[in-house]
Amino acid sequence: MKVYLIRHAKAQRRQGWERADVMRPLSPAGHDQAMGLVERFDGVQVARVISSPALRCRQTAEPIAARFGLAVEVDARIAEGASLGGAQSLVRSLNGAPAVLSCHGDLIPALVEKLVPGALELEGGAGCPKGSTWLLQDGASGKLRASYLPPPRAGAASPDLDTKQRIAIVDLGSTSFTLLVADVTTDGHIVRVVREREMLRLGAALAQESKLSDELCDKAVEGARRLGRLADRSGAQELVAVATSAMRDAKNGRKLAERISRALGSEVRVLSGEDEARLIFSAFRRRIGLGEEYALGLDLGGGSLELAVGNASGLRFETTLPLGVTRLHGELVTTDPMSASEVRAVRARVEEALDPIAGRLRALDSVRCIAAGGTVRALARLLLGVPDDAPAADLRGLLVPSDDFDALARRLARSTHAERLDIPGIDEKRSDLLPTGAVIVSSVLSRLSLPGLMICDWGLREGVILGALAARAFEQLPRSSLFQTG
C-alpha cells in the first residue's frame, strides 16, 4: 500500500465564496505550490489520482495527474466535512494500488491517526498545512507507516524579479483586439499588469464579404493605436503584435496589417492557423504541466478553432478549422433566441469540419482536453456564476463535464438577449455570441467523444510571450554552440 494524502494548496480567501465554497479556486501562490508538488513524484509510480469535489483540491491534483497521464477522479468520500469511515472505505477500495488523494485539513490528520496511531506525535506534531503530504505505506514488517512531507519550499521556483522585462502583446483577433502587458522573466514566469480590449468583430464582417470595409479598417487601425498608446503608458519595453484568422482570411488583410504596423511602430505578424495552434499549446504545456501521455489542446477564437495534440515532449498534430464563434454566428444565426434550425446548422457545420480528422484525433488517445479562448472562459464563468471580470486565473484547472456544456448550450440557445443580460456572470460584450459559442463547444465535445475539458487561463498571448523568450534565448547562444552535434 502506498497512498499520498495531500492537503490542497493555498486557495483564494473565503470572502465572496461563502455560497459556493466548493468552487473556490487556488490563489496564484497556490498554483505555484501545486506545480512544486509534482517534483516529489519523480521516480515513483502512481496508478490513481483522486480528489475531493472542491475545485481547490482538483486544481492541486491536476498537475500530478498530468505527470502520470491520468485523469483526476472525484470522490465525495474525501470532501470537506466527510466522515472518517467513508475515507477509510475509499482507502480500502484501492486494493494496494499506489494513489494520490487530494483533500482537506480536517480529514487528513484524523485519517492518518486512525490508520497509524501515534504518527502525528512521532512526526513532532507536524500537522497538515496547505500543500503538505502524508505518505502512508507498508513498512518492511508489513506494518503501515506514515511519513510527513512539508509543502514545497516557498519561493523555490520564484522568478528572479531583477531580470524581469515588461512586454506588451497586441492580439489582433477576429472578435476583439486585446492588449496584454506583462512582467516576464527569462524563465517564463508571467505576471499580468494590464489587459484591455477593443471589440471590433472583424470576423462577423467577413461572414458577409470577402474583404473588410474601409470604415471597419479605419476603426481597426484606430483601436490598435489606442492599445499601443496604453502599452506605452504602461511602461512596456517591447511590443509584439500578432494577427489571426480575420486578417489572414480577408483579401485586404495584409494591407490592414501593414497599416496597423505603422500605427504601432512594430511589425504585425500574421499567424498561420498552425502557428496559432503551436503557440497556444506551448502555453498549455507551461501552465498546466503535461506528462508523456497526449493531451488535446483546443482554442476557440472569433474566426477559427485551433486544435493540437501533444505532450511534454512536443506536438504530434495541429490544425485550424473555420469554426470561430464570430464567423459562424455571422454566417448562420439571425434570430434571437436561436431557432432550432440555426442550432442544427451550427452543429452540422462543426461536424462537417471535424469528420475528416475525428478518427485521427481519437486514435491519438488523449487523456484530457485543455481549452482556452475568451468564449470558453466566458462560458465557464457562467457555469460558476462568478462575475465576468473575475480573474482568469480563478478558472485555471477547472474541469467542466460535457453534460454541463450541453445543458448550458440548450439554456443559452433558448434565451433572448435581454434574458441573458440578467444571468449572473454574463459577459455583456459577448452576450449575443455566447449561445453560438456554447453550441460549438458542445458539438466539438460530442463529435470527438470527449467527457469534458479543463480550462486554462493562458492561451495565444502567453504563447507568443514564451515564443519570443525562446527566440531571444536562441539568438543569445554563442555562435559556435549553434552548430554543435553532441
Cell of 402: 460535457
Instruction: Estimate the crossing angle of helix 402-414 against helix 434-447, to 10 degrees.
Output: 150
* Residue 343 three-state SS: helix
pLDDT (tens digit, 0 to 9) for every residue of the chain, 486 residues total?
A: 889 999 999 999 888 787 778 989 998 889 889 988 887 787 678 999 999 999 999 999 988 888 788 889 999 999 999 999 999 999 999 998 999 999 999 999 999 989 988 777 655 455 789 999 888 887 545 678 787 778 886 544 444 545 688 999 999 999 999 999 999 987 778 888 999 999 999 998 988 889 999 999 999 999 999 999 999 999 999 999 999 999 999 999 999 999 999 999 999 999 999 999 999 999 988 877 667 778 999 999 999 999 999 988 889 999 999 999 999 999 999 999 999 999 999 999 999 999 999 999 999 988 789 999 999 999 988 887 767 776 676 677 666 788 889 999 999 999 999 999 998 888 888 999 999 999 999 999 999 999 888 888 899 999 999 988 887 654 554 443 333 333
For the chain, how long is the longest CA-to-CA vector?
81
Beta carbons within 10 angstroms of residue 261's beta carbon: 16
CA distances from 80 to 59, 91, 108 (A): 15, 16, 10
- Residue 150 has phi, psi (to 5 degrees) of -65, 165
Torsion angle in degrees (nearest 10) through CA of 115, 116, 118, 121: -100
Among the listed residues 184, 161, 67, the one whose alpha carbon sits nearest the alpha carbon of residue 467: 184
Evaluated on CA atoms 198, 202, 203, 205, the torsion sign reads: positive
| Cα distance from N-terminal residue to C-terminal residue, the chain | 43
Q: What are phi and psi of 44, to 5 degrees?
A: -110, 165
Ordered domains of the chain (ranges, CATH): 2-149 (3.40.50.1240), 161-271 (3.30.420.40), 278-463 (3.30.420.150)
**Contact present, 108 and 126 (Cβ < 8 Å):** no
Gap between the Cα atoms of 285 and 283, Å rounded: 5
User: Hunting for cell 507507516 — which residue is that?
Assistant: 145
Residue 282, pLDDT score: 92
Which one, of 50, 46, 106, lies nearest residue 82 by Cα? Answer: 106
Give the pTM: 0.72
